[in-house]
Every structure is written in C-alpha cells, then in structure tokens.
C-alpha cells in the first residue's frame, strides 16, 4: 500500500476532472471503477476509485482518491493504492502501487 496526502488551493470540480482525465489517459488499462460525490451546506467530498493492470506485478492495482473541501477553503486530498503486491503473509513487490501513485503526483 502506498499513500499520498496533500492540500491544494484551487477550484474543486476542475481539479477532480483533471485528475480523472489524467489517470485514465495515463494508462491503457486504467479504468474508473466507481465514484461518489457529497455536497453539504458548507462542505463537499468526492471519492474516486481507479484500477489498472501492473505489468511489473502481473496483477491489478487500485487507487482510491478522496477530495474534501469545507467553506470554499483548501482541498484536502488523500490517495491510497492497494492490490499490487505479491506474497501471502508479507507484501512483496509493491512497484505497481507506487507507480500508480507516481502518476497522480505527476498530475498534481
């Protein structure tokens, strides 16, 4: 598992759209598995779940990205990858998870 947390000051919807497009355009096997959007009186939260094939691990890797904003302030972003390791009891070969997260870093 790999994780990235950051804070950005920009417009919410264009940021989410830019990341969706960048992830999907960044890999021929990438897909948007599902999404969820909540808008309250003073806050909003969007969740995106992506998946792609990892050639180095010969398996599929998922990445969940959560966007949270309150009162029009900064956008908190948390991205967590999973599923790209090998091994039964210990995680071995997490290259696919890290590479998927690196793609998000490029977009940001």
Q: Give 2's pLDDT tier (boundaries 50, 70, 90).
A: confident
Instruction: For residue range 13-65, list pLDDT tens digits in order.
Output: 999 999 999 999 988 889 999 999 999 999 999 999 999 886 665 678 889 99
**Residue 8 reports pLDDT greater than 90:** yes
> Cα separation of 50 and 52, whole Å?
7
- For residue 54, the enclosing domain spans 2-107
Question: Which CATH number covers residue 37?
Answer: 3.40.1000.10
The pLDDT of residue 22 is 94
Rounded to two decimals, the pTM is 0.84
> Cα separation of 99 and 61, whole Å?
10
Instruction: For residue range 74-106, list pLDDT tens digits in order.
Output: 999 999 988 755 565 555 556 666 776 777 888
In the block, which residue shows the tokens 């977009």?
A: 107
**Residue 5 reports pLDDT greater than 60:** yes
Number of domains, the chain:
1
């Amino acid at each position: 598992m790999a994780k990235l947390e950051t804070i950005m000051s920009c417009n919410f919807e264009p940021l989410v759209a830019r990341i969706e497009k960048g992830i999907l355009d960044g890999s021929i096997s990438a897909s948007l598995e599902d999404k969820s959007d909540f808008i309250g009186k003073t806050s909003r939260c969007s969740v995106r779940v992506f998946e792609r094939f990892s050639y180095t691990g010969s398996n599929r890797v998922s990445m969940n990205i959560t966007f949270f904003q309150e009162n029009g302030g900064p956008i908190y972003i948390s991205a967590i990858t999973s599923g790209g390791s090998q091994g039964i009891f210990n995680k071995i070969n997490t290259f696919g998870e890290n590479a998927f997260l690196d793609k998000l870093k490029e977009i940001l």
